[in-house]
Amino acid sequence: MAPLPTGSCDTCSAEEVKLRTNPFTSTEQCEECREASIIGVSDIKSQYKLKDEDLEGLETVSEPKPAFLGGPDRRWYLVEEVKKRAKAVEEKREQEKKDKEAAKGVAKKEKEEAKEAAKKEKEEAKARKAAEKEEKKAAKTPKSATSTKSEEAPKSAKSTEPTPTKDAKRKRDSEDEGEKDSKVSVDVERPVKRGRGRPPKPKDPNAPPPKPKSGRGRGRPPKAKAVAAEAEAKEE
């Protein structure tokens, strides 16, 4: 590769500096001025974090690489345009990030609302089921309900009745005592039940006389030996 020429820079008027041609203006510039005006793709990606699709629409110039390096031609972009595009891309990314966070917040809110709605629906279903259960229970036991109503009715009627006077109450008490005395007299006049210490039954005059007791219980005949002994005793 041939050495770079030296001379004065067309941009900063520096003398005795190595010069390189600007592919956009075809002017000879020093290294500092050239780097300040144009930039390559690799530097754009490393410094401004831009992708190839972010560089679409920008003015670009291709420059062949030296033969010993090989590979595709170099692409150069104007630094001023690249800075503007990088700022626009950064704002776009920030907006997309905000939109994404907002969408995430909306999705989270919708999820919480759906969860609350499901919880509320579950509670309503539970309450409805409990009410149906109570209705079935009440339908199965109509008698108890009617009995309680009938019991409540006489109580209310009783409460509306006038209270008895002292004379009427005294008369009712005397009648109750008389009933008790009559009950006692009736109980005394009743015949005594036959039990322990009961009187003997009246004897029938026409009944045959009782048989003499043999000495052995329950009317069994005497044993043969006992009969023979008694006969011998009589003979003696």
User: What are φ and ψ of residue 17, in 5° steps?
Assistant: -125, 155
Pick from 24, 23, 21, 27: which is nearest to 4 by CA?
21
What tens digit of pLDDT does each residue of 110-122 get? 999 999 999 999 9
Higher pLDDT, residue 211 or 164: 211
- Give the pairing of strands 28-29 and 74-78: unpaired
| Longest CA pairwise span in the chain (Å) | 195
What tens digit of pLDDT does each residue of 188-217 get? 556 656 566 777 777 777 878 777 665 555
Residues in Cβ contact with 10 at an 8 Å cutoff, skipping those fewer than 6 apart? 27, 28, 29
Q: Where are the domains of the chain?
A: 6-79
Tell whether pTM > 0.75. Answer: no
